[in-house]
Amino acid sequence: MKYFRRNPIAQIRLQVIDWWCQLCSVLRQPLPLPQQLQRILIANPAHLGDAVITTAVLRELKKQYPHLIIDVLCGSWSAPIFEAHPAVHKIYTLDLPMLNRRPISVQDKQLQYHLGYQQLKIELQKERYDLVASVYAYEPSYIPVVDRLLKAPIVGFSSAGYGPLLAKSFNTAHFDWHEVQHQVKVLEDFLGEPKSLEDYQIWLEQGIPTITGDMPYVVLHPGTGEPSKEWSIDGWQKVLNHLKMRNVRVVITGHGEREQKIAKALAEGVNGIVVENWVGRLSFKDFCQTIAGARLLISVESVAAHIASNYKVPTLIAAFGKTNLKRWQPLGGLTQLIDMRQDSKKSEKLFFERLEVLLHQKNITLKEGIKAS
């Protein structure tokens, strides 16, 4: 697969773009890769889960280049990950319309992009980088943007299109790797070949617990930016009915009006258990610390699971989307991922068996009345 696009028309469009870029490159002086790396721009327009994985790449860069100045270009939705991050010097944002999930019109998304581009152009005029790393393997990427705005060699994925603009291009579609290994591959001239998966770790802040109390809590994160990846209300109510037999309270997290409706329906639909609805009430930092303080996270495929891996919180994921589960699984080895896309009854049975084991391992005991029955 040359491009990560299923649509044949989209593939043809990217081929035409690449042919045009190849033709124009004849008139350009190619920029060599730097001999020394002092300043780098990491460009990733993707959403929160992908961007959290990028923090593992930042960790590797800082290990090998402690004095390296790292700036980040990302979507505004991912900026909170990098704010006050110990590895990041500056953050620039630009929201690509194709990745913008805000409930606004296509025209408004285009307008936001245009205004954001003009602002980015002003901000980057004074910047000089030894290297730009475009670590997103899919279209749309920031490759054409940074090519126009910066005079610096760019490394990135040809699978995102615009491969002829790159000083060194990569297509890792044929590798059965985790996403962090794909991203590290782009920087192989500086980080070496990708290592084993267990050698990588997410890098998020260790902070102060947001939610306190004597009773332990489990975090439920039922929402994601893609409704196709979500479980039904009935499915989550079964989880709550299972948890209400235990000495535990439930904290529901999420963001946005749609996820608020899901949380409200769950909180009102089950009796006999303390359910706290924190959807839309937490900053990203507080969201991270809420997960950090949990005994267990139960989630769909979302950023919550990647955050939990940073804090070594055991996680059970119900996977419903079209995602390559091996590529996007959380790091750290504490995640159990149940593929719910096949035999739903068999998968659901396995899910609750795994949940029972995790509750026992985390010493979340049965209520006294349940024991006596």
The strands making up 315-319's β-sheet, listed across from edge to edge, are 275-277, 249-252, 217-221, 296-299, 315-319, 335-339
In the structure, what pLDDT confidence band is assigned to residue 373 with cuts at 50, 70 and 90?
very low
Give yes or no for residue 68 having a pLDDT over 80.
yes
- Residues 252-271: what's their mean pLDDT? 89
Residue-wise pLDDT for 349-368, tens only, equals: 999 999 999 999 998 888 87
Q: Is the dihedral of CA 150, 152, 155, 159 positive or negative?
A: positive
- Residues 308-320: what's their mean pLDDT? 94
Give yes or no for residue 28 having a pLDDT over 90.
no
pTM of the model: 0.91
Give yes or no for residue 243 having a pLDDT over 60.
yes
- Residues 235-264: what's their mean pLDDT? 92
Among 140, 123, 141, CA closest to 132? 141
User: What is the percentage of the chain residues whose pLDDT exceeds 90?
Assistant: 68
Residue-wise pLDDT for 94-140, tens only, equals: 999 999 988 899 999 999 999 999 999 999 998 999 999 999 999 89
- pLDDT averaged over every residue in the chain: 91
Which has the minimum average pLDDT: 2-16, 160-174, 318-332?
2-16
pLDDT for residue 267: 85
Give yes or no for residue 345 having a pLDDT over 90.
no
pLDDT for residue 1: 52
In the structure, what pLDDT confidence band is assigned to residue 312 with cuts at 50, 70 and 90?
very high
pLDDT for residue 227: 81
pLDDT for residue 372: 41
Q: Which residue is listed with tokens 């091996």? A: 326
Domains of the chain: 8-199 (3.40.50.2000), 217-372 (3.40.50.2000)
- Residues 55-79: what's their mean pLDDT? 97
Among 221, 202, 371, 210, CA closest to 296? 221
Among 204, 11, 225, 184, CA closest to 101? 225
pLDDT for residue 370: 65
| Cβ atoms 122, 238 nearer than 8 A | no
Among 364, 247, 352, CA closest to 295? 364
Q: Is the dihedral of CA 306, 129, 88, 79 positive or negative?
A: negative
pLDDT: which is higher, 272 or 343? 272
- Residues 282-295: what's their mean pLDDT? 94
Q: Is the dihedral of CA 179, 182, 186, 191 positive or negative?
A: positive
User: What is the percentage of the chain residues whose pLDDT exceeds 70?
Assistant: 98
